[in-house]
Amino acid sequence: MKNQVQLITYVDRLGGQRDRGDLKRLRRLLAEPGSPLAGVFGSVHLLPFFHAIDGADAGFDPIDHTEVDPRLGDWADIKALTGQLDVMADVIVNHMSSGSPQFQDYSENGEASAYAGLFLTLDAVFPQGVNERDLLAVYRPRPGLPLTYATLRNGERRLLWTTFTPAQIDIAVHHPQGRAYLSGILRTFADNGIRMVRLDAVGYAIKKAGASCFMMPETFDFIGEFAAEAKALGIEVLVEIHSYYQRQIEIAGRVDWVYDFALPPLVLHAFSFGTATALKRWIGIRPTNALTVLDTHDGIGIIDIGADASDRAARPGLVPPEELDALVERIHAASGGESRLATGAAASNLDLYQVNCTFFDAMGRDETAYLLARALQFFLPGVPQVYYVGLLAGHNDLDLLARTQVGRDINRHFYSEHEIARECERPVVGRLIELIRLRNRHPAFGGTFSVGASSDTELQLRWEHGAHWSALRIDFASRDHALTCSDGAGGTQHFAFS
């Protein structure tokens, strides 16, 4: 993966027209001279662009994972984009849409369908029957059981395994049909120039009677097998897991890339409480084969710095529980209460471990603090990834939230080309773009990273590569700060945050 800042975006929400966009327009926006974003990013992660992009979960419930939604373009457009930027795409490993041809055939023909073994039922996981203890052992990040009662079109009744929503039917990844389905996705990606994939929801892909069905040894084995298949096609693999921080460290030791999901809440904690203690502890132990993020298409994770739900006393979090609770309330206060409308049980939100809010609003629209947070993100070892709303220092989209009543849509605004041009004129966005260019181009970031000694309120980070160096200092209590770097001519360059 290229050591440059990567954009994460929906195709239809950045530069769209009438709430739709296309791949040609996105390629012009990111690559053609004259665009305010031309040459800013080294790569782009395209969130689901498959048929269809407007299902039950914004494309994460594909009807056909190997077809580009025709409203966006086709595979030729994807291939054209990969000729100018490295592209990451999602492999939605755990499930497919109830509207898929495979499930429709199964619904029509039941056990006589060629796809009968592709979809998981309760009996497929518990062939000897199930008891209350076994069901309660299953981990699910949402309330209730991962099961949906369904009557198929042929009249048969089934309890389908549905980890996320009733429209997202879990698949049997080891069944011949499941293996063929996932392999076909990888081959299609490779044929069209995609060289990075994110395994979405892979932590839930393996089910085992009597176990948690989340990140088990068998899950690691599956990830290893799938990653090897991808590697043979020239594709790198990123694993997406929200989990207790120690587990994340363990996962990172066994895969190519992971997300640093602990970073966003820890950055907010540092600014909110005026302390660098928890953040410095994490920097000392965090995996470096990570994509660093402050925001994504989902909410701000809380589980990632909290105690392990399986044993809170023996496995505490990175911050005390009372501070974690206070942090959530401070985010709500900083956003003027807007995040509360989209979090927890509000707005049909089922991800109870996340706070839904743009990161800029979570920081109270403090432009200097926001840019310092981005600088911190860019200084940590790994590959930085910037979400399209965060790139434009976006505000909470209450209108979209009101229309859809989907909590995460508060941070999934549809930007027109006119809006993008206007937002890029804002000083905070211009400074962020300059910061991205600095991170991409300065030679120091290809060298050695170190953390300097400092007080509990201060953080000092430094990169060195030969005669090149770059240093960041932030005092979270006083907000005193500095970003300096070598200028290539024996002098020092100062980055202004305001």
Give the C-alpha distances (Å, rounded to integers) separating 188 from 26, 55, 89, 184. Answer: 21, 22, 11, 6
At 460 the three-state DSSP class reads: strand
- CB crowding 152-183: b at 16 or more within 10 Å, else e: beeeeebbbbbbbbebbbbbbbebebbeebbe
Q: What angle do CA 258, 262, 264 make, to 5 degrees?
A: 110
User: In terms of C-beta distances under 8 Å and separation of at least 24 residues, what long-range contacts does 187-192 make, across chains too?
Assistant: 187/233, 188/66, 188/75, 189/89, 189/91, 189/233, 189/235, 190/233, 190/234, 190/235, 191/75, 192/75, 192/78, 192/79, 192/82
Beta strands, E only, 121-167: 147-151, 157-161
Cα–Cα distance measured from residue 59 to residue 343, given in angstroms and rounded to the nearest whole number: 21
DSSP 247-259: HHHHHHTTSSEEE
Q: Which region holds residue 59: left if phi is over 0, alpha if psi is between -120 and 50, else beta?
A: left
CB burial class (10 A; 0-12, 13-18, 19+) of residue 142? middle
Quick check: 493 and 485 in contact, CB under 8 A?
Answer: yes
Q: What angle do CA 22, 258, 39 make, to 5 degrees?
A: 40
Of 250, 265, 255, 266, whose CA–CA distance to 231 is shortest? Answer: 255
At 491 the three-state DSSP class reads: coil
Cα–Cα distance measured from residue 418 to residue 259, given in angstroms and rounded to the nearest whole number: 32
Residues assigned a catalytic role: 200, 240
Structure tokens belonging to residue 94: 């755990």
Of 344, 390, 398, whose CA–CA distance to 365 is shortest? Answer: 390
Cis peptide before 52 (omega within 30 of 0): yes
Structure tokens belonging to residue 460: 């000092």
Quick check: 180 and 107 in contact, CB under 8 A?
Answer: no
Quick check: 21 and 14 in contact, CB under 8 A?
Answer: yes
At 100 the three-state DSSP class reads: coil
